[in-house]
Amino acid sequence: MTSIGELRLHMEPKTLVDENRHQNQPRRVRRIVLSINGDSHSIEVDARSTLAEVLRENLRMTGTKLGCNRSECGTCTLIMDGRTVFSCTILAVEAEGKCIETIEGLASGSDLNPLQKAFIKNDALQCGYCIPAMLMAATALLRVKMEPTEDDVRQGIAGVYCRCGAYPNIVRAVLDVSRGQVDC
Amino acid sequence: MLYEIPQIEHVNARSTEEAIYWLSRYGDKAKVIAGGTDLLSLIKDKINGPQMPIPEVLINIKTIPEMDRIDYSPGKGLSIGATTTLYDIESSNEVREKFGMLADAAHEVATNQIRNMGTIGGNLVQRPWCWYFRVPQFNCYKKGGPQCYAISGSHKYYFSMLGLGVCVMAHPSDTAPALMALGAEIVVAGESGQRRVPIDGFFLGPQEVFETVLKPNEIITEVFIPEQPPNTRGSFLKSRLRGTWDFALSSVAARLQITNGSYDDAKIILGGVAPFPFRVPLAEDALRGKRVDEEVISLAAAVAVKRAHPLAQNGYKVPLTQNLVKRALMSASGLEAEV
């Protein structure tokens, strides 16, 4: 008896019967180009690697942290195509062609950006592990809401857990920047 | 920490046809991936059972261009591609203006990051968020195992209060009750072409292992919502344990049609309290033909929870849901509820 799967082998969809046919096969390893903070990185990745793993292990950009690795704690938050996402739950092969922004892209050289300065000025961190994610979430928020209310800020960083409970100072730092109360 | 996901093969599908081809070819070894927020967590935790093999091939459908879109045609309705993110839905002006209840429901899902990743199709087919299902040690009914562990275990939060069958999960989707209230259709593609499934017939009961009628080699391609009559008003409310983000303890989607101060029609769907989005026709009947009035609404809210049969630890869901129904009906009727 012929199974449905075998039958389909003889009637492959049009998209497979083109010159790319052999390129588009399920693969375990793939060479991809990632655009990170404006730079292109061509790397060979395992299909099972998450974006966070590739950033930290392959590219040695360890600013992005991993906490729960289950899209719950938010520590791996970065910006992809202008929106915050959990990099622990995105396969690196699926991040190809996206514009990825990480904490490493905020400062220029040793010059911190106003948001980073505001975090220091407001003592907005204790252990600091969630801070890269907080900064990325706040960056994404400030791009769409230049003058956020306290509630907007709390909503904006809601997906990131701070186990130290530094929230009041983090919220104050973000509000400070939006009000231009940081010396740059 | 490296490689929590077991070895997989990955392919980017470029058309619906191609996705179905790969699904059929690899059978139950393959899974479709869109937002991945549910699937990758299950794979990382190696959740498996007789009816739930760990996938070895992932077919990415985010690369199918026509699946990520929101098209509104006046007079006909709204067509949403299956991989449209929840953020795109909540922030679409057309959805907000014409189908506000769906925008509210999409906004209530999880957190910014998840809404930026998670898709409408994935929100409908997500697996149970039951803590026995989500650990590998329990071979529970929903994995093809012999029994439900939550009934005699801990079931205070994300579980059913309607005692309908073997498994006591509560369906976690927020968009499903809203879509059901709006009379949506789910467009499903498979080997033999497309079929349109009215959402009332999309979800299965707790006696089934899988939550939806979707067959293993079928995928959702589109969610269609018909144009609503001009006198339609709606409301979606959700109650949750944690303010920032959480699954529903209880949610209510209410869609009312009001003419000259009385209800022409009503549709009330409960979420988070049953293994599928639960329609309460008797509560709808309690409104139909009646004047818009707080007493009528209170009665309908009481009728809505009449069938409740809570478990040992979740009896609180009955008054919670009753009040939520009342608040949703008051809000959709344009009345102020007394706090």
- 8 Å CB contact between A156 and A138: yes
Q: Which residues pair with B187 in a beta bridge?
A: B196, B222
Complex ipTM more than 0.90, yes or no: yes
Q: Read off the amino acid at residue B73.
A: S
| Residue B86 · residue B115 · CB < 8 Å | yes
**Given this model, what pLDDT does residue A15 score?**
60
Q: Which residues fall within 8 angstroms of residue B131, CB to CB, at 6 or more apart?
A: B150, B154, B158
Residues 6+ away with beta carbon under 8 Å from B216: B23, B27, B28
The pLDDT, as a whole number, for residue B243 is 85
- Is B232-332 the same fold as B66-124+171-226? no
| Cβ contact, residue pair A90, B15, below 8 Å | no
In chain B, the residue whose alpha carbon lies closest to the alpha carbon of A90 is B36
B9 at the A interface (CB within 8 A)? yes
Q: Which two tokens stand for residue B26?
A: 């690899």
Q: How confident is the model at residue A23, as a pLDDT?
A: 60
Could you tell me the CATH superfamily of domain A114-178? [2Fe-2S]-binding domain (1.10.150.120)
User: pLDDT truncated to tens, each residue of chain A (184 aa)?
Assistant: 444 444 444 456 666 655 455 568 999 999 999 999 999 999 999 999 999 999 999 999 999 999 999 999 999 999 999 999 999 999 999 999 999 999 999 999 999 999 999 999 999 999 999 999 999 999 999 999 999 999 999 999 999 999 999 999 999 999 999 988 775 4
Rounded Cα–Cα distance for residues B203 and B175 (Å): 13
Which residue in chain A has the smallest CA separation from B28? Answer: A5
pLDDT of residue A2: 42
Element (H, E) at B269: strand B262-271
The reply to whether A53 touches chain B by the CB within 8 Å rule is yes
Report how far residue A90's alpha carbon sits from residue A52's, in angstroms, rounded to the nearest whole number. Answer: 8
Taking the mean position of all CA atoms in its chain, how far away is CA B308?
20
Smallest CA–CA distance, residue A170 to chain B, in Å, is 16
Q: Which of A11, A15, A79 to mutate to test the interface with B (most CBs of B within 10 A)?
A: A15
Q: Which residue of A has its CA nearest to B243?
A: A158
Tell me chain A's radius of gyration from C-alpha atoms. Answer: 21
Interface test with B, best of A45, A71, A142 (most B CBs within 10 A): A71
pLDDT, tens digit, 9 for 90 and up, residues A32-69: 999 999 999 999 999 999 999 999 999 999 999 999 99
What span, in angstroms and rounded, lies between the C-alpha atoms of B140 and B48? 10
Do the chains contact at B40 and A50, CB–CB below 8 Å?
yes
The answer for residues whose C-beta is within 8 angstroms of residue B328's C-beta and 6 or more apart is B235, B236, B237, B252, B253, B254, B268
Amino acid B133: pLDDT: 97
> Do the Cβ atoms of A115 and A142 come closer than 8 Å?
yes
Going from N- to C-terminal start, the domains of chain B cover 66-124+171-226, 232-332
The answer to whether the CB atoms of B116 and A93 lie below 8 A apart is no
Amino acid at B241: L
> Is B213 within 8 Å of B204 (Cβ atoms)?
yes
Query: What is the chain B residue with the closest CA to A6?
Result: B25
Q: Does domain B66-124+171-226 have CATH number 3.30.420.40?
A: no
Which residues in chain B have Cβ-Cβ distances shorter than 8 Å to A12? Answer: 21
- pLDDT tens, position by position, B60-96: 999 999 999 999 999 999 999 999 999 999 999 999 9
Inter-chain residue contact B10 with A91, CB threshold 8 Å: yes
Q: What is the CATH number assigned to the segment(s) B232-332? A: 3.30.390.50
Fold entry, domain A28-105: Ubiquitin-like (UB roll) (3.10.20)
Identify the bridge partners of residue B185 per DSSP, sorted by sequence position. Answer: B198, B224
Give the model's pLDDT for residue A14. Answer: 62
Interchain contact, A14 vs B15, CB within 8 Å: yes
Shortest Cα distance, chain B CAs vs residue A52, angstroms: 10
Instruction: Name residue B245's amino acid.
Output: W
Distance from CA of A54 to the nearest CA of B (A): 9
Relative to beta strand B57-60, strand B9-12 is parallel
What pLDDT is stored for residue B164 in this prediction? 86
For residue B2, the chain A residues in CB contact (below 8 A) are 53, 57
pLDDT value at residue B14: 95
Does residue A83 belong to the interface with chain B, where contact is any CB pair within 8 Å? yes
Find the helix or strand (DSSP H, E) in which A33 lies: strand A29-36
pLDDT at A20: 54
Q: Is B280 on the interface with A (CB under 8 A)?
A: no
User: Among partner residues A4, A28, A50, which is closest to B191 by beta-carbon distance?
Assistant: A4
- Which amino acid, residue B291? R
Residue B70's closest CA among B120, B108, B113, B107?
Answer: B120
Q: What residue type is assigned to position B170 of the chain?
A: A
Low-confidence ranges of chain B (pLDDT < 50): none
A·B CB contacts under 8 A: 131
| Å between B158 CA and nearest CA of chain A | 17
Residue B35 to residue B39: CA distance in whole angstroms: 8
Residue ranges of domains in chain A: 28-105, 114-178
Pairing of strands B77-81, B219-226: antiparallel
